[in-house]
Amino acid sequence: MNDPTSSVTQRLDALQKRVESACRNAGRDPAEVTLLLATKTIPADRLPEAVRAGQMRFGENRIQEGLAKSVQLANAHPDLAAGVRWEMIGHLQTNKINQALRFVSAIQSVDRLRLVNRLQARLERDRRTRAMLISGVWSDLKKRRILLVDHQNDHNQQKRIRHDRFYP
């Protein structure tokens, strides 16, 4: 699986088989699980093969790299890029919200109320509707969503947010 000489397609096939096996062992339907590939340190020229193999969700933890990869994929392969969803999987600084909202469909790393407030203000400014909290997911009509995270410990220097701060 970690053989760097194997093709992206081969590696995705092997990974999908592992996911299906784990789902069977857990009594879950494999169709309930969607693979999100982290593209950190992966060159953009390797993404088209993954898309051709059926991978449509990509996660990036650096805004500049993710934006560059999404633009490069769209310019080189507009037919492939049309169905791709990009997600933010790393810490998002409030000063990078504008860049993030240019290309991501989800932010899985909201870690503080200030960031939520800034995201909501930006969505409202763009008249994308008021963001609403629904089952731990902030959403608007453009399918942008923000998943709240709750890390159990801070010793790994991970950010922490308490969900009860957002509920009445």
Per-residue model confidence (pLDDT) at position 14 = 94
All structural domains of the chain with their residue ranges? 8-165
Q: What is the pTM of this model?
A: 0.73
Per-residue model confidence (pLDDT) at position 89 = 87
Per-residue model confidence (pLDDT) at position 154 = 40
Per-residue model confidence (pLDDT) at position 162 = 41
Which residue pairs, CB below 8 angstroms and at least 24 apart, start in 43-51? 44/68, 44/69, 44/72, 44/73, 45/72, 46/8, 47/73, 48/73, 48/76, 48/77, 48/80, 49/7, 49/8, 49/9, 50/8, 50/9, 50/12, 51/77, 51/80, 51/81, 51/83, 51/84
Q: Which tens digits make up the pLDDT trace of 151-166?
A: 333 444 344 444 433 3
Per-residue model confidence (pLDDT) at position 4 = 55
Determine the Cα–Cα distance for residues 23 and 13; give it in Å rounded to an integer.
15
State the architecture of 8-165 in CATH terms.
Answer: Alpha-Beta Barrel (3.20)
- In tens digits, the chain (168 residues) has pLDDT values of 555 556 889 999 999 999 999 999 999 999 988 899 999 989 999 999 999 999 999 999 999 999 999 999 999 999 999 999 998 888 889 999 889 888 888 887 777 778 877 887 787 787 664 333 322 344 443 344 444 443 333 444 344 444 433 332
